[in-house]
Amino acid sequence: QSALTQPASVSGSPGQSITISCTGTSSDVGAYNYVSWYQHHPGKAPKLMIYEVTNRPSGVSNRFSGSKSGNTASLTISGLQAEDEADYYCSSFTTSTTWVFGGGSKLTVL
């Protein structure tokens, strides 16, 4: 199972909005609404930010939102804050009943 494709890096200024894309295939992202997004700060466990494409867990800021079109899912962060600087990973369930991650995107808040 090949990894999902994410941009290696994204950046934005405080207060701006950014979008991170996650491109897969009809065997993963396009097959189910089982795409999730994780925020990962070095040295800490990843944190679930979005599940089932659009759902936010309790306690996650509504500045984070998810969407999907075809084989591409997206994470949008609005009103960028310095604390949002981290690595972001998407993940999708696959038709092989396995999970696959994206390669990760490093978000820099300028």
Partner 1 sequence: QVQLQQSGPGLVKPSQTLSVTCAISGDSVSSNSAAWNWIRQSPSRGLEWLGRTYYRSKWFHEYALSVKSRMAINPDTSNNQFSLQLYSVTPEDTAVYYCAREISAGWDYWGQGTLVTVSS
List interacting residues with partner 1 (CB under 8 A): 1, 3, 32, 34, 36, 38, 40, 45-46, 48, 50-52, 55, 57, 87, 89, 91, 93, 96-104
Q: Which is nearer to partner 1, 9 or 16 (CB)?
A: 9
- Per the structure block, which two tokens stand in for 75? 């994470």
Q: Which is nearer to partner 1, 88 or 109 (CB)?
A: 88
Residue 102 · residue 3 · CB < 8 Å: yes
For the bound state, the minimum distance from the C-beta of residue 68 to partner 1, rounded and expressed in Å, comes to: 13
Tell me the Cα Rg of the chain: 13
Q: Which is nearer to partner 1, 16 or 55 (CB)?
A: 55
Within 10 Å of residue 7's Cβ, how many Cβ atoms?
Answer: 17
Question: Distances in Å between the alpha carbon of 91 and those of 80, 83, 97, 100?
Answer: 22, 22, 13, 6
